Chain A
Amino acid sequence: MRLAAPGDGALFRLVLYGLAGVVALHLLLTGLDLAGLAWDPWLLAALWAAVIAAASLVRPERARRAADERTRLPSDLGWGDGLALVALLVFALFALTLWITIPDFVYHWGLKGHRFFLARGIDYPYLTRGWNWVIHPDYPNLLPELFAVTALCAGTFDEPAAMLWSVAFFALLLGAVREALRQAGSSRFVLQAATALVALVAAAAGIGGMMAGGADWMIALALAAALPPLMRPPDRSGDLQIGVIAAFAAASKVEGLPLAVILLALQWLRPGRTGARGDSGSGSGAGTPPRSTAAVAERAAAAAALLVPVAAVALPWLAAVHRHHLFQDFNSGPFDPARAPAVGGALLAMLAARSWHGFTYGLFLLPLLALDRRLRPAAAALLCQVVFYLYVYFSARVDPVALVLTSFPRLALHLLPAILTGAAIVLDGLSVPRKAPPA
């Protein structure tokens, strides 16, 4: 089973291998924690080398040759790519000054990263302190782990180095967006324009909305990276891609957990899942009983590709939250429809958030994605994620207006890159006859 599909370009391979690498690192750190071993940099380096060696050994020779043939970088770079690069560089420069550091870096992400670095592992005694409810001790720990590993490599906790993770996730996000446009067969102009648009809008929001050092780039990246596999008919590579992307989302942020479930469910239930060696299933969803042993094996392989990465990430996290009593009761509560006026008013106000310059109204383009059959699974994922955010606004045991005001600009970053990309694909498809993606 291969992570990259034959039609995936070099940029998207970079995205996929980047996400898979981060998830593998998270699992490595989790394994060390479970084994009671400290995060020693030399031990980590040795284990990481072993992981890379194992990954290259298990790859079949034929797959390796096929992959090597398609690792060329895009040769059709244009003005949109240039603008995207400028946006990324300007964001990176601001991030390195720490001027646009998200307050949550100080309040919890960065603090946890520093504590984990000092403790050489997840510092559960610290997370369980009664007054530390403010640092969201029940959040998934991937981002603080990345900060801690960066500090382990550098020998000291360095904020600008930590900011580079946001730059990296932003860069991967742009790679995923460009690949989605390419795989959709978008015209050159739309590919360039949409890449530039997403880059400039996200950079503006990231700079003006102070989002460097936070985990919101990771959810945005997960949603954008899910576009190509969700646009293709389901296959083994697509299942594994969704599994890895969902695992990455689940490890990143608490909003990534429902996203992981949504992605897995959608990919599993998609119609058109073909059986092994062309056996059965064409035109039917996963709910249809398989008709042969090969089809059963194919379903099992699909289920494993989807579930194993997410289960490996989510189960240890759930066990730790349960074991250390980390879950915060204000995270959830009964659904309260009486909040509608307050939540609605706050949402309307935040649609005009200064740093988004009105682009938040782009969220209303989501229904447009349903006009393209290929984008319907992605549209369904985005819609479910929006519904989840609204549910939290109506149920969390905190002031809903304050919650909307402090979270909406960041949640918009999760959704808008994928929605704008999908909208560009739809509008391009409506204006020109559809083309096959370049080989």
Chain B
Amino acid sequence: MVAFVAEATGELRGFDARSANANPFNWRFGMAPVVRFSRCMAEARALLPPGTLVAFVSPGEGAAGRGGGGGNDDFFRWRWAAYLLPELDLVRLQDASPPQAPSYLLTYRREAPGRRFELVRQLTGGRLYRVRR
């Protein structure tokens, strides 16, 4: 009973404090950073036809351990982006290579790396680019 009450009240306090910031590894539904990120993804969703292969990049990219998560901000933002954009095929920019060449690049809180991307739309907190062929 003590454990149950402790966990319930603890999670209630966490729920009340959901406006606080958190790194993507600790994101939960309803958290302020998730709400901000979701807004950006919703804007991108409206611009991209279903089934499009889209590359994604955000700050904190790096190698993620296969099968073990690895742990970096870009990796977990990518997973949230894939969840929030289920109609699209979302690949991390670092994994996007032929024959899986994306048509668009979606960035969050950073610009596109290099000149082969053409800005399509500035989003709330992100940018959508078309990949030049």
Contacts and interface: CB of A to CB of B under 8 A. Distances in A.
A94 B8 contact: yes
A276 interface: no
Interface stretch (B66-74, B105-113, B116-124): B66-74
A107 interface: yes
B7 A101 contact: no
Interface residues of A, number: 46
Interface in A121-163: 126, 129-131, 133-134, 157, 159
Contact of B3 (A359, A397, A403): A359
Contact of B11 (A100, A110, A114): A100
A106 B83 contact: yes
A99 B30 contact: yes
Contact of B68 (A90, A94, A159, A403): A403
A126 B88 CA distance: 10
A83 B28 CA distance: 28
Given A111-B83, A111-B86, A130 B29 contact: no
* Chain A interface main SS type: helix
A396 interface: yes
Interface residues of B, number: 33
B18 interface: yes
A126 B89 contact: yes
Interface string B85-116: 01101011001000010000000000000000
Contacts of B3: 200-201, 204, 356-357, 359
A40 interface: no
A207 B11 contact: yes
Contacts of B4: 87, 90, 200-201, 203-204, 207
B2 interface: yes
Given A106-B79, A110-B83, A208-B10, A130 B95 contact: yes
